[in-house]
Amino acid sequence: MKKHIHVAVGVIENSTNEILLAKRHAHLHQGGKWEFPGGKVEAGETTSQALIRELKEEVDLTVLNTTALMQVQHDYGDKQVLLDIHWVKDFTGTAKGVEGQIVKWVAKQELTQFDFPEANKAIVAKILAP
Ligand SMILES: Nc1nc2c([nH]c(=O)n2[C@@H]2O[C@H](COP(=O)(O)OP(=O)(O)OP(=O)(O)O)[C@@H](O)[C@H]2O)c(=O)[nH]1
Ligand SMILES: [Mg+2]
């Protein structure tokens, strides 16, 4: 049976309106592509709780609050994902790739130049025309 996974995804925006991207490790699903940091929602967590946990684990940011932005469902063939995307503007700390991944703050207009997983096209469109 195909795997269905629920993913909390953060569009993290800093005070100069840049968005944080991370590069997925080559061995992961959709490896080598850029992503918005986040990860799987675990049993008993809200999306916001999952995102707050993941952003600490992955990029060492302390998030105080998130706001729901949109949901995107996508079938990769091997896997079906439900991306639950939240805006994150309320955080402290300095972003770093805790798991050795490259992280980068990018101006919104430059987002179209990055190679994202297919499901992310709708997210980039929403960021550019909210
Ligand atoms: N984090 C994240 N995942 C995305 C994005 N777009 C997208 O299709 N995905 C997919 O959603 C799933 C998220 O899984 P993940 O690898 O981040 O999950 P995780 O952090 O909990 O990792 P884990 O597998 O080590 O527990 C992957 O299949 C990934 O390909 C995105 O922008 N950010
Ligand atoms: Mg992840």
Question: The domain spanning residue 58 has which CATH number?
Answer: 3.90.79.10
Domain hosting 115: range is 3-128
Given this model, what pLDDT does residue 13 score? 98
Q: Is 81 in the pocket of ligand 1 (CB under 6 A)?
A: yes
Q: Is 34 in the pocket of ligand 1 (CB under 6 A)?
A: no
Strand partners for 7: 40, 83
Given this model, what pLDDT does residue 1 score? 72
Give mean pLDDT, residues 44-56.
98
Calculate how far, in angstroms, residue 92's C-alpha sits from the geometric centre of ligand 1: 23
Contact 99, 93 (CB under 8 A): no
Residue 92: pLDDT band with limits 50, 70, 90: very high
Position 2 pLDDT exceeds 90? no
Q: What is the mean pLDDT of the chain?
A: 96
Residue 63: pLDDT band with limits 50, 70, 90: very high
Calculate how far, in angstroms, residue 37's C-alpha sits from the geometric centre of ligand 2: 6
Q: How many domains does the chain have?
A: 1
